[in-house]
Structure 1
């Protein structure tokens, strides 16, 4: 723990020192500068109001600073760099902390960065249509890990591959190694007219989860938003201390047609520790409509959704979105009946008011249910109203 605190403090000190130093914003006149720096960040202020049923511990209505990020990025002689941290919690949490170098065939990155898995996870939290990503994006995606990656884009295609540790700067107790990659295809994509197809794959090898001070390996989604901890249902639990292999995949599909867009993903993972096996399957489908006529932004170089560019009306842009999201988990000892057979699902209706491209208010209405198939019972039914005021720069 002391080692972790030292690393967090070191990252915070480095970020603050760079922010306090004279910054040169990179532009056309700075091409010859050996060192440049640009300051950025995001602030997400959230609230949640719950309508809990009588089963289980009720969720508490609450507010939170969901994200308070600062980042510094730029050029340092022959490499590019990015330092990013989240100051919203009790401790500073590292996000992107890496150096990279562009080559004629692609980009090499070394350090800590978000891994390449699924359209939902790769679309930044500033640009998603809902407060939270779907179940697969919040539980299966590898998130920020230490490693090395190669990214490339050519024509209508992008691809990325990485080898990474299961450690991160702030979660060094998790031991193991992994490799993964993602490829996308968006033929002839233009503003307001996009067809996106993608595939993500990852293999992870966890060392002794649940033993020797290593956290257990569990899949426990929050069905009614980030503050719905008391509605979490365990879909997978590997905590016996045996090394565990995990194979993950996700199939991506999305289209944008003017103010309308729709997308879906089918994701899954298998878990095997030599004595038991677990399987998770997840899927979501969503529809988005910009009432005021704008279109969702799309970045062809990275194969993900991005910022809307042009707001047509002085009052701002208004988006309505609807999503159905479900995840099911099964686990059993070899040759034995299931230990776990459960599912969580949620409908979410969202409304977003973009006052500016980088300033919006979000409101989500959520209806979630958890079902335990071994008990043949619904074990939780929670409704929630969640919202966010969001600003980034």
Structure 2
């Protein structure tokens, strides 16, 4: 636009300079001479215009070159090949599995762990028994701890429980993983029962089957070995007492064998266990609460029995197929009493079945026990989590050889909602029918029923 204006000014200037000259010569020049002069001036003007047009085209070309240079300056620089040395191996890596798990060079790892289980509910017992009933609640478990690996195939697990206004040691284990053999030293579970070895995080009901508590299954200080071949695994160990009861002279031996083959998508579990304990205290006591832990009432109780040893043995079976599962156990506990006293054998067992009401969900299984439920459509990812319904018949018989500890028959139902891998909510109902209960009614009747409702909120990491 600036060059077009210059051309116009040039033309105007040429016309103005030529007009006075033409006027001065008009009187003395002929018409032919005037026309010739005008032609010459027009020719000069045409040349001037041609020159200006050339300058305009040159200016346009320069502008296009300038635009091209500006465009190149605004474009990202072309990648430059630079030789980069291979990155050094990182000193530590962090993964998230419910909590941060830190792994370092050389076989080190560290992961915090913990759980919170808060329970509440109601118990309804006959008034004339004098049993404490009504509403109850407690913090069932509040654990914090750590676990990890140590170079050389070693590992550790340590966990403390703060529930019940006191601090108790749950697990304190040093482990070693060899070729097909695992060794554990410290306070850990004995090898008694599928139900007992399944973590409380993954059970179908708020509490485990009655016989597991009644017969005193608990963690003890000891050493154990586990090894497996194909679908068969064998566990055995020697133990003293629970660490809270030390020092003590009681010692026990436990063993368990599990056969767990796959059948297509189905998982079969068959197992058997044996237990022997030499009692240092010279007495044992077997008793049990009605389904929930927030009551201290026991309607079945042998009281203290003089005993030199106890010998138990059990059988277990389970099957998982898609959303369905079934499980059952039986356990016999024999007491060797001193002198001529008769030796009673007490019995406990259960049978349960469960189904997931949500598509794609199934009960977890790993290492000879039930494991974590992982919802196919968890909350937070567009789903509602996993919803499971379970029923169970639970039996405990503490009557034998002149001992009247009572019989407890439990009919239970549970609804379990697992919104995410690490959260669960449970609602349980139980009707417990007693024969020879240790708390009689005022009429002397010892055969009656107790109703229980329990709920739990749970989170772990």
- TM-score of the superposed pair, with normalisation by structure 2: 0.72
Aligned to 2:293: 226
Equivalent of residue 320 in structure 1, options 383, 386, 389: 389
Pair 1:265-2:340 in alignment? no
Q: Which residue of 2 aligns with 1:18?
A: none
Offset from partner CA, 1:285-304 (integer Å, 9 cap, x none): 101110103110110xx201
- 1:390 match: secondary structure: strand
| Cα 1:189–1:38 shift into 2, 3 Å | farther
1:382 aligns with 2:382: no
Q: Which structure has the bigger radius of gyration?
A: 2
3-state secondary structure, aligned to 2:243 = coil
- Where relative contact order (Cα < 8 A, 6+ residues apart) is larger, the structure is 1
More strand by share: 1
Structure 1: stretches of 5+ with no match in the other structure: 1-22, 210-215, 333-337
- Determine if the alignment matches structure 1 residue 168 to structure 2 residue 242: yes
Q: What's the counterpart of residue 280 of structure 1? A: 346
Per-residue deviation, residues 105-126 of structure 1 (Å, max 9, x unmatched): 3111111101111111111100
Structure 1, residues 54-108: CA drift from partner, whole Å, max 9, x if none? 2242324111110001121112343211111111122211111010111113111
Quote the residue 2:258 is aligned against: 184
Q: Aligned pair in 2 of structure 1 residues 304, 141: CA closer, same or farther (>3 Å)?
A: farther
CA offsets 1:12-54 (integer angstroms, 9 cap, x no match): xxxxxxxxxxx98579993634643210111101002122212
> TM-score of the superposition, structure 1-length normalised?
0.84
1:224 offset after TM fit, Å? 3.1
Query: Equivalences for 1:240-251 in 2 at 5 Å?
Result: 240=306, 244-251=308-315
Q: Deviation per CA, 1:135-170, whole angstroms, max 9, x where unpaired? A: 1222225321000000112221111100000x2221
Q: Secondary structure at the match of 1:37?
A: strand
Partner of 1:335: none
State how far apart, in whole Å, the 2-side matches of 1:197 and 1:25 are.
Answer: 38
Deviation at 1:174, TM superposition (A): 5.5
* Structure 1 residue aligned with 2:63: none
Whole-angstrom CA distance in 2 between matches of 1:87 and 1:118: 26
Which sits farther off after the overlay, 193-202 or 140-149?
A: 140-149
Q: In structure 2, do the counterparts of structure 1 residues 310 and 208 end up closer, same or farther at CA, with 3 Å as the change threshold?
A: closer
Show the counterpart of 2:167: 92
Aligned to 1:371: 435
CA contact (8 A) 1:224 1:383 kept: no
Alignment partner of 1:151 is 2:226 = yes
CA contact under 8 A between 1:26 and 1:74: conserved in structure 2?
no
Contact (CA 8 Å) 1:44, 1:389: kept in 2 or not? yes
User: SS of 2:301's equivalent?
Assistant: coil
Aligned residue pairs total 353
Checking the alignment, whether the CA contact within 8 Å between 1:107 and 1:151 is kept in structure 2 is yes
Q: Which residue of 2 aligns with 1:4?
A: none
Structure 2 match to 1:207 = 280
Query: Which structure 1 residue ranges, 4+ long, deviate > 3 Å from structure 2?
Result: 23-31, 373-380
State the match for 1:12 in structure 2: none
Structure 2 gaps, min length 5: 1-91
